Structures are given as C-alpha cells and as structure tokens.
Amino acid sequence: MPRRHDPERRQRIIDAAIRVVGRQGIAGLSHRTVAAEADVPLGSTTYHFATLDELLVAALRQANEGFAEVVAGHPALADPDADLADELARVLGEWLGGDRTGVELEYELYLAALRRPALRPVAGEWAEGVGALLAERTDPVTARALVAVLDGICLQVLLTDSVYDEGYAREVLARVLG
C-alpha cells in the first residue's frame, strides 16, 4: 500500500544520499540510486530535490553537523582556562579515532564543492561555524588559521591512511596559537 502521508520522506532521501555517497562516491549518486536506497518512488526524489546539487547541499549540510556536534560536546573549548591546543587536538582525535567512514564522507562532500559551485556556500558555512566557535577563545585571524590547520591535519591523515598523532597536532596548534 503506498504511503499517502510521509513527513519523514525528505529526511530518508537525504540519509539515503549520504549512504550512497559513502558506498559509491559522488559519481554513484543519482536520483535513481537514491530512490532505490530510500525505498521511495523516483518521483519523490525529484519532488524534494529538483537537482542532484540540491540533494548534495542537503547531504553536506547534514554531514557538517557531525563535527559541530563533536566540538559542541567539548565545553572545555569554551573554558578560558583550558589549554586550547590540547583540547582541539583531543577533539580532532575523537573525530578521527572512530569509524572514519563518516569523516571521509564529510570531506568527499566538502571537496565536491571544488567542481560544484552550488556546494560552496555550505562548505563555507562549516569553516565559518568552526571559526566562530574558536574566535570566542582567540582572535578571528588565528581562529581561521586553526580551522585551516585542523582541515590540513584531517586531510593528511585521511589521504595517507595514517594513524592520527595527537602530540603532533597539539604542537602544531600550539604554534599557531603562539
């Protein structure tokens, strides 16, 4: 029996898109693959997201929430007496220490903005959001530098498939902080 009222359908489509990209990469994403993954009619995906870029924007926005939740879960980052470099290195370790599938997915969506201009504002939101959080503990320029270092360390770990070195991250972050 078809579902007549399905208020969760849009969210299921976004979740399905994230799973498809996680398994097949962005190249494997289509309205058809997402519809099959979400177990919805093909027309539902195009109803909620006229283009794949619209769907990718929604997926990236949701994926961005992952790191924001990790940062928000560490109140010591807002504590002026806490060692910011130490806390950031710990947060990054927590982010990279678990299942890397989510982290890889987030970066794949983030880097897709290079070729898909519609994603750029959402990719920028992530950097601005984290930067704003860090600017509460330091100045805006240093906060942006910290975001760049965090991004760089994440990409190095992901691209080299290496183990995250919290001591190295702490030292680099401390140097940026002066």
Q: Is 60 exceeded by the pLDDT of residue 2?
A: no
The reported pLDDT for the residue numbered 156 is 93
CA-nearest of 114, 119, 102 to 67 is 102
Report how far residue 164's alpha carbon sits from residue 172's, in angstroms, rounded to the nearest whole number.
Answer: 13
Domain annotation for the chain: domains and CATH numbers: 1-50 (1.10.10.60), 64-177 (1.10.357.10)
Q: pLDDT tens, 119-155?
A: 888 888 888 888 888 898 999 999 999 999 999 999 9
Report how far residue 136's alpha carbon sits from residue 97's, in angstroms, rounded to the nearest whole number.
Answer: 26
Q: pLDDT tens, 23-81?
A: 888 889 999 999 999 999 999 999 999 999 999 989 888 877 766 677 777 877 778 88
Q: Is 70 exceeded by the pLDDT of residue 1?
A: no
The reported pLDDT for the residue numbered 4 is 61
Q: Is 90 exceeded by the pLDDT of residue 98?
A: no
Report how far residue 68's alpha carbon sits from residue 115's, in angstroms, rounded to the nearest whole number.
Answer: 24
The reported pLDDT for the residue numbered 3 is 52
Rg (CA), the chain: 18
Of 141 and 105, more confident: 141
The reported pLDDT for the residue numbered 5 is 67
Q: What is the pTM of this model?
A: 0.80
Q: Is 50 exceeded by the pLDDT of residue 176?
A: yes
